Structure 1
Amino acid sequence: MEKVTFRQMKDGTREEYVFLEQLEDNFNQGLVDRLLDALRRLENSLSGYQVTRLEHSLQSAARAEADGADEDMIVAALLHDLGDDLAPYNHSQLAAAIIRPYVRAEVTWVIHHHGLFQKVYYAHHFGEDPHERDRYRDHPWYQSCVNFCERYDQAAFDPDYPTPPLEHFEPMLRRIFARQPFDPEVIGEEHPLEP
């Protein structure tokens, strides 16, 4: 079989869906390569900072690594702004959706909310509430997100910070994304990802 015959999903046969599942499994083997390509494209993304978006991502991951963070958090720091090009107003949620099947729930929650938590640094310049994140103050991962933003994200715009190349993080990326998606032993207990 080269293609399914159905034109509506409800008309597909088991044989066709097994065929499609095999194709999808094969395609998914290239996920890390597609993520690496997407990260490389950040080199020519949003400008105006002293570092490129790729350098910011690399520096965020390098800061997480230097801080002793585990691979879940380091890879999350690397990918946290991957959605800037395609989802500029909800980039945090896009990045969280990418990592969610592969990392512990705490890390997904942090990445999902980091855009809101970052507002503490600049929202006042636009007449917005810089403390909007405080609505999550009682959440068990609130401080993790505060720490992520303070230590890894907002500090990662320094052109003089020693930052390794993307290839340094590739083995970690491959290990994380080689995990069985949605493995409860990895993800643990999830919390709602409300905005």
Structure 2
Amino acid sequence: MAEGQSRATFSDMSQSTQEDWQAIMVEHVPFARGGGARVLDHLRLLAGDYGGFPVDRLTHCLQTATRAYRDGRSEDYIVMALLHDIGDTLGAYNHPEIAAAILKPFVSEELHWIVEHHGIFQGVNFFHHIGLNRDMREQFRGHEYFDATAEFIDKYDCPAFDPDYDTLPLEFFEPMVMRLFEKPLKSIYKKTEQEIAA
């Protein structure tokens, strides 16, 4: 907060005023628009974390996005591919849901569904090796995004563990992430943010 800017005065949110929320929203709008930079900072935490895999988690994410980019996918799809495992460091037991929550305001329902369910869909390749049902994704057979999620796994996520693949660097994708996170497609705060920014 810059010197001289007003701050909310309440100590109990139930006693907040419109003036309090005006002060908060003036701060919130630029902070929210900087979300892409914070997401990129968190993604960098995956560097050097192999977790036993052939490549580190950041390289896997970059490789997934590189494959989607080279296949001519849309920018929002490429960012979804880049961020699909961003939850690995925060949620070892539910990383797809964390990535989905981060992306939800910024992507279509289809892309949100793909990232939210990619863990179960990837299981067809390894669940049987760890005592789980490799056909767990069959519970979603017939869902309108089933084929799109299976395609994401087969074409981009599954083969993205190749140490010799010509993977694009994070810097290549940074402008895409910043553009996507600048303006949400849907948010309960979207209308208010637009009014304050105007």
Q: TM-score, normalised by structure 1?
A: 0.89
SS in 1 for 2:45: helix
Q: Paired residue for 2:33?
A: 29
The structure number with the bigger radius of gyration is 2
Q: Paired residue for 1:64?
A: 68
Distance (whole Å) between structure 1 residues aligned to residue 135 and residue 84 of structure 2: 21
RMSD: 1.4
Ranges of 4+ aligned residues in structure 1 off by more than 3 Å: none
Q: Paired residue for 1:189?
A: none
Amino acid at match of 1:72: D
Mapping of residues 34-183 of structure 1, within 5 Å: 34-182=38-186
**Number of residue pairs matched?**
183
Distance (whole Å) between structure 2 residues aligned to residue 111 and residue 81 of structure 1: 9
Distance (whole Å) between structure 2 residues aligned to residue 136 and residue 180 of structure 1: 28
SS in 1 for 2:47: helix
Query: 1:2 Cα deviation (Å)?
Result: 4.2
Query: 1:151 Cα deviation (Å)?
Result: 1.0
Distance (whole Å) between structure 2 residues aligned to residue 122 and residue 13 of structure 1: 54
Unpaired runs of 5+ in structure 1? Answer: 184-195
Unpaired runs of 5+ in structure 2? Answer: 188-198
Cα deviations by residue, 1:95-132 (Å, 9 ceiling, x for unpaired):
01111111111000000000111111111112211111
Q: Does 1:19 align with 2:23?
A: yes
Cα deviations by residue, 1:65-111 (Å, 9 ceiling, x for unpaired):
11221111110010000000111111101101111111111000000
Question: Does the Cα contact within 8 Å between 2:35 and 2:182 map onto a contact in 1?
Answer: no
Question: Does the Cα contact within 8 Å between 1:75 and 1:173 map onto a contact in 2?
Answer: yes
Q: Percent identity?
A: 43
Amino acid at match of 2:180: I
Query: 1:59 Cα deviation (Å)?
Result: 0.2
Q: TM-score, normalised by structure 2?
A: 0.88
